[in-house]
Each structure stands twice: as C-alpha cells, then as structure tokens.
Amino acid sequence: MLLLIVSVWLRFKLSESPAFAKLKEEGEICHAPLREAFGRWENLRRVLIAFFGIMCAQGAVWYLSFFYIQVFLTKSLGVPEPTKDALVLAMTVVSAPLYVFFGWLSDRIGRKPVMIGGMLLALVAYLPGFHGMAAAANPALVEAQRAQPVVVYTDPSTCSVQFDPAGTRQFKTACDIGKSLLAGTGISYRETRSDDGRTVVAVGDERIEIPDGGALSGPELKALKDDTGKTLKAALTAEGYPAKADPARMNIPVMFFWLMVFAVASTALYGPQAAALVEMFPTNIRYTAMSLPYHVGTGWVGGFLPVTSFALATITGNVYASLWYPAVFTLISVVVALLFIRETRGKPLDEI
C-alpha cells in the first residue's frame, strides 16, 4: 500500500515530455491509438520488430539470468538456499551499475550494437555456462551422471508432454511420474522402450519400478509421488548420487563468474532498451504501440520459461535441453535486430 501511494504521488508530480506537450498544444493527439498503432502497417511493423527484435530476447535472457538460474541452482544442483541467495544478491548488486554503463555506452556507439552484443553473449554462454555452474556447484552430481547414467525403461505411448502453464494438470502415468521426479531433481536420463510396458528406473545395480497413479485421487496421487520420490532418491544415493551439493567442494568463484556472464548479457540488453523502444515509435502512439511488445515479451516469453524448460527436460531426458527455449528466442531477436532494427541514437524524437 505504501509503495502504491508513493507511486501515485510520483505520477502526479511528473510532467509530460516536451514532445507530447507540443502535440497536445497543437491538437494532434491521437484519439484512436489502438487503430493507429495496430491498424496501420507502418506502425504495426514497428511493433512486430520491437517484439521479435528486442523483447523476445529480453524475456528470455533477463528471466533466465535472474530467476531461472535460481531454480537451477537449488532444485537441479542442490545448492543450499542461503548460498544461492548470497550469490544472487552479490550478482544483483555488482550488476546494478552496468545498466547505467550500457545505457551510456549506447549513447556513444549506438543502441543496436550494445543490445545485440548482450544477446550474442547470452546465446554463446547458455550451454557452457550451465554446464560450468553444474561442475562448480555440485561436482559429485556430474561425476555420478558420468559413472552411473540413469535409464528409464517405459512404454513411450504412456508418456505425456508435461507442459502445464496453469498448474492444473495431473500427470498420473508411471512414465510421467518417473520422468518428472528425475527432471525435478536435475538428473538427466536416457529413455528406452520396455519389453513389458512397465516403467522402471535403472541406475547402476538399482532397479526401481514406478507405480501408476491413474486411478488415484489428488491426495493419494501426491502421497504416491512422495513415496516414490523417496525410494528413487534412496536408490540414487546408493549409487553415488549426492542428496545435496557439498559446500566443501563448491567452487564459489566459478559459480559467481558464470552468474556475472549472464548478468552482463542481460544488462547490456536492458540498459539501452528503454531509449531504443521510445525511439522506435512516433510520439502520438508511443505508449500504446510500445506496451504490447514489452508486456508480451516480458510476461509471456519470460513467464513461460520455467514451465517450458521443465517440459523440454522431461521430453528429452536432458536437463540442459531446457536451454533451447531461451536460446531460440534469443536467436530470433539477434536475426531480426540485425536485419530490421535501424539505429536511432542521436535521432530527434520529432523526426521519427
């Protein structure tokens, strides 16, 4: 409530921009901004370029750098929450001045090269960065995966695509239960068709049959998954898989290095972004036209990252396959930005 009051007070204290004040004085304010922004191809084209050329990457890179990485560190690698929080806090504090720096740099060399540089850095860092963090945070897990790879024997026809953005679906088959338990703990696996249709997770000498929960209600299904998860965890532990990351073996400097690589990528993209988006649209439709690509890119591309990444991990059996989602959206933005975004640095707003 206090923040709301402060925000409203600040809004009333703000004055309109000189460009908008001039439009208002001359009576040229747009009275049908939606039709003007999205009904005219020239303006709609700018909206599409802003979305595909900037905001797709923004949703992917920024959300991965500051949110999805936290899930990966704790859920997949078993890093203790206090350690993860300290690392992310340090990354946030150290990266804060970079927004200003890259905004300043874009005033000197242009919006386009700085933003594309951030996109390319993220694109080339996705796979080596996450593999590097895994090796630094939980080397025992990496060693166990190499020494005792996990195999899921199942009937593929019983496996679902575990994409559940609303969080309302119940995945009840033995295949879905086994694969989701493995993916949820950051363990990659190889899927093989079983001879008898049963779902069995094999790791080393251990064989764990996964029960089917098709006839169970919500509470019963949850209890089944909890019990199966404990059994599976015990079998993995017996074969050398660590329950948690060992703080004594963590390489904190390497972990922080990779966090900062993604922080640099996201701040290089975010720093010039406000100026670049403002400079893409005429004053009379700027807010309306800019709001759609901004909120769709941030809310939808970024918002769908966790659930889509989990679905990709369960489909492929590879926890790192989750990185294809941000990589594809980042690559789309790189291509569109290179081909269609025009440099606007130093161009007066009234000339757009």
Q: In angstroms, rounded to a whole number, what is the distance separating the alpha carbons of residues 44 and 50?
A: 10
Specify the pLDDT at position 45. Answer: 86
Asked: is 36-138+245-351 a CATH 1.20.1250.20 domain? The reply is yes
Alpha-carbon Rg for the chain, nearest whole angstrom, is 24
Specify the pLDDT at position 1. Answer: 76
The string of DSSP codes covering 91-109 is: HHHHHHHHHHHHHHHHHHH
Dig out the tokens for 140 from the structure.
């025992």
352: pLDDT strictly greater than 70:
no
Q: Domain residue spans in the chain? A: 36-138+245-351, 149-238
Q: What is the mean pLDDT of residues 26-54?
A: 72
Query: What is the share, in percent, of the chain residues with pLDDT greater than 90?
Result: 67
pLDDT tens for 72-103 read: 999 999 999 999 999 999 999 999 999 999 99
Specify the pLDDT at position 167. Answer: 80
- Structurally, at CATH architecture level, domain 149-238 sits in 3-Layer(aba) Sandwich (3.40)
Crossing angle between the packed helical segments 56-63 and 111-137, to the nearest 10 degrees: 30
